[in-house]
Amino acid sequence: MNHRILFGSYPIPRFAGIVSHNFVVWTDDTGRPLYEINGGAAHADGSFNYCALRGPLTAVVTDYAKRDLVYCPEFYVRPTSRTIVLMEGNVSSIAARWRTAVDVAERIRLSKLRYSFLVQNSNSVATAIAEGMGLKPPSAAVGRVKAPGSHRHLVLDAA
């Protein structure tokens, strides 16, 4: 197996699993996660707000070699998470796309956009990350009910 970029979806139990949190993950040739990007809101101290209703919109890059759940969430390893392969290739081709994803995540963090549960949220971040890499988010993981905000195109300054 090659390295992969996956589009993940985690059904949120609080909403009976109907609404999902989308994210993007890079796995190695054994399927082990190396990095993950999640969108959401940040607390004032910069930690990830798992139960956000408002706050600054952020995109967090999790390095699985340096785990810190307060600042860097991990959804790929949750048993109910589902993933779809966006791209498969050798490590250098995946790393090149991932560098682009990290750049988009930085632009989102610096954008001063506000988190909104139904409009600008983890799902719009995941869509922006995938599209920023030149990949199309899977139709099975997006939708106005299933993944509110997934159709929202974030307005970001050029890099």
On the question of pLDDT at 15 being above 80, the answer is no
Per-residue pLDDT at 13: 74
Per-residue pLDDT at 145: 67
Backbone angles phi, psi at 109, to 5 degrees: -60, -35
Is residue 50 one of the residues assigned to a domain?
yes
Enter the tokens of residue 92.
């250098």
Is residue 159 one of the residues assigned to a domain?
no
Q: Give me the residues paired with residue 35 across strands.
A: 26, 63
Centre a 10 Å sphere on the Cβ of residue 65 and count the other Cβ atoms it contains.
7
Residue type at 100 in one-letter notation: T
Is residue 127 one of the residues assigned to a domain?
yes
pLDDT band at residue 17 using 50, 70 and 90 as cut-offs: low
CB 104 within 8 A of CB 59: yes
Whole-angstrom distance, CA of residue 57 vs CA of residue 74 = 18
Is residue 76 one of the residues assigned to a domain?
yes
Whole-angstrom distance, CA of residue 101 vs CA of residue 95 = 10
Residue type at 27 in one-letter notation: T
- pLDDT tens profile 53-107: 889 999 999 999 999 999 999 999 999 999 999 999 999 999 999 999 999 999 9
Is residue 48 one of the residues assigned to a domain?
yes
CA angle 130, 136, 138 (to 5 degrees): 100
The domain in which residue 55 lies consists of 3-141
Is residue 149 one of the residues assigned to a domain?
no
On the question of pLDDT at 159 being above 80, the answer is no
- The domain tally of the chain equals 1
Q: What is the mean pLDDT of the chain?
A: 90
CB 121 within 8 A of CB 151: no
CB 9 within 8 A of CB 147: yes
Is residue 158 one of the residues assigned to a domain?
no
Is residue 126 one of the residues assigned to a domain?
yes
